[in-house]
Amino acid sequence: MSPHPRLSAIRNQLHQNPPARVVLALGELFPLDEKQLREQWRELVAGTPLADLALTVRILPAQQQCMVCFLKYHPQKKETACPQCGSVGAKILSGEELYLESF
């Protein structure tokens, strides 16, 4: 499995001047969960100066808004059905992020 392009971009950004620690913000709805993210990171940085970096992952909760009744809710287990009206037409407000939070 090839690493996610956004993770590769973060690696490239840190490569020039490797910090001792970083915090990555990871949205709940991002295609990788924390375990997969850490596995891909390990493969990406193996044998490089970034291999010793302390990686902290902060999970960002997801929020969706129903397009029918406009309820804002936290999707359970990536389910998209609205808990109030059952509609599946929801807009994702947050939870798809992956970014470097601090270093």
What are the residues binding Zn ion (CB under 5 A)? Answer: 66, 68-69, 71, 82, 84-85, 87
Instruction: For the CB of residue 27, give the shortest distance to Zn ion in the complex, in Å.
Output: 22
Q: Which is nearer to Zn ion, 36 or 65 (CB)?
A: 65
Instruction: For the CB of residue 30, give the shortest distance to Zn ion in the complex, in Å.
Output: 24
∠ CA(67), CA(72), CA(77), 5° rounding?
Answer: 95
Read off the amino acid at residue 72.
Answer: K
Q: Which is nearer to Zn ion, 80 or 87 (CB)?
A: 87
Please say whether the beta carbons of 11 and 44 come within 8 A: yes
Cα end-to-end span (Å), the chain: 27
Q: Which is nearer to Zn ion, 12 or 84 (CB)?
A: 84
Instruction: For the CB of residue 83, give the shortest distance to Zn ion in the complex, in Å.
Output: 8
Contact partners, residue 9, CB within 8 Å, separation at least 6: none
Instruction: For the CB of residue 43, give the shortest distance to Zn ion in the complex, in Å.
Output: 41
Q: Which is nearer to Zn ion, 50 or 82 (CB)?
A: 82
Please say whether the beta carbons of 100 and 10 come within 8 A: yes
